[in-house]
Amino acid sequence: MSDNATIEQQKQAVGQAISKYLTAVKTWDEKAFRETFHPKANIQHYYVKGDEIKTITLDEFVGSIGSLHAKYDNAEEKAREIEIQIVDHLASVRVAFSFVMGPRTMDGQDLFNLALCKGEWKIIHKSYYL
């Protein structure tokens, strides 16, 4: 995957996976949301105020996002900036975002690791803070 055109194609494909993730969060399409992740993915949330890290499963993360949609009329992660790096069959993506929850907006950053699994880019790890 060293060819520049191939790397750009891979970046586009990774960008599409992240776009699908963001759209699924906004519209709360649980099926599409789950499809962006590998089933064994894990998620880590760094709590700035408490200076602690919480690691959760994909199912727990799905429950968390679903609960925000149940609580607020709108829950959306709005990307402000996206950076994508490709390393062979792996990708690293940084997303600076604003998360809207009802009347509140909080800024944070996502760091995604994706793997090219059976021809599809899947999120295998997400670290974030708000």
**pLDDT at res. 42:** 95
pLDDT band per the 50, 70, 90 thresholds, residue 48: confident
Return the domain boundaries, the chain: 4-129
Separation of first and last alpha carbons in the chain: 34
Report the Cα 130 to chain-centroid distance in Å. Answer: 13
pLDDT tier at 2, thresholds 50, 70, 90: low
Checking if the pLDDT of 1 tops 60, the result is no
Residues 4-129, CATH architecture: Roll (3.10)
Q: What is the pLDDT of residue 9?
A: 95
Average pLDDT score over the chain: 95
pLDDT-based confidence at residue 5 (cuts at 50, 70, 90): low
Count of all residues that appear for the chain in the document: 130
Residue 45: DSSP 8-state: E
Question: The pTM is what?
Answer: 0.93
CA distance 47 to 55: 11
Q: What pLDDT, on the 0 to 100 scale, is given for residue 3?
A: 76
> Which among 15, 10, 59, 55 is positioned nearest to 34, based on CA atoms?
59
Give 74's DSSP letter.
-
pLDDT tens profile 79-102: 999 999 999 999 999 999 999 999
User: Is the confidence at residue 69, as pLDDT, over 80?
Assistant: yes
